[in-house]
Amino acid sequence: MRVGGYRWIKLRKEFLKECNYTCKKCGKKFNSKDLIVDHITPISLGGKEFDKKNFQCLCKGCNKVKTKIDLSVIFWINKFPPYL
């Protein structure tokens, strides 16, 4: 288990309750197994891993769409690094 794994499990449970097991994008209710606590700003782009302000509940379908967008942004940043 990764560092912070137990902390993440606890935070995830708390946040799922706070969002009422509802996907933020499509508005549908799901059970906890079908919801993902997504980082709004990916950790790889500087998002805070354990900050609830950086969390959103997404169903698996909505999370797939967001992940594609996140990966394209990460690819673009790596392909065109900022000039110093």
Annotated domain spans of the chain: 5-79
Percentage of the chain modeled with pLDDT above 70:
89
CATH number of 5-79: 1.10.30.50
Q: What angle do CA 39, 41, 43 make, to 5 degrees?
A: 75
The four Cα atoms 10, 50, 19, 63 give a dihedral, to 10 degrees, of -110
What's the rounded mean pLDDT across residues 24-44? Answer: 95
Average pLDDT score over residue span 18-28: 97
